[in-house]
Amino acid sequence: MQIIKNKNIKWWLGVASCVALFAIIGVFSYYKMSFVLNGVQIVASIEHNDNTSLAVISGKAQNATYISLNGREIYIDKDGSFSEKIALIPGFSVITIDAMDKFGKSKEKTFQLVYKEGSPLVAFSR
C-alpha cells in the first residue's frame, strides 16, 4: 500500500491513459462486432390493394445471407432489402420469413392473414 502512495503524478497519468486507451478499444470493438451478437434482424410489412388477390411483402433483413418466404428462397439486395409478391387465397393463411446470417444464427417472422375477397386484408404479426 505504501508503494502505491509514493508514486508521482507522471506514473498516475501513465496508468490512467492506459486504462482509458483499453476502455476506448473495448467500446469500439463491441460497437464493430455487435452484429455478431445481435444476429439477424427482420423488419417486414404486407401491402395489399383491395381490388386484387396479390399482396407484396417487403422489408429489410439486416445481416442476413439467406432468406426464405414459406420455405422458398428469395433474394435480397446488398443492404438486406427484399420485396416479393404473393398470391392470397380466401381464408386463413400463415406466411413465414426465415433468415440466417453467415454465422448460422437464424430468425423467423410469422404473419397470420385473414383474407376475404372484396374486403381489406387483416394481418397479425408475431
- Do the beta carbons of residue 100 and residue 66 sit within 8 Å? yes
* 1 pLDDT more than 70: no
Q: Which of 21, 45, 30 is nearest to 95 (CA)?
A: 45
Bigger pLDDT: 107 or 8? Answer: 107
> What pLDDT, on the 0 to 100 scale, is given for residue 114?
84
Bigger pLDDT: 19 or 118? Answer: 19
What pTM was computed for the model?
0.68
> What pLDDT, on the 0 to 100 scale, is given for residue 9?
82
* 52 pLDDT more than 90: no
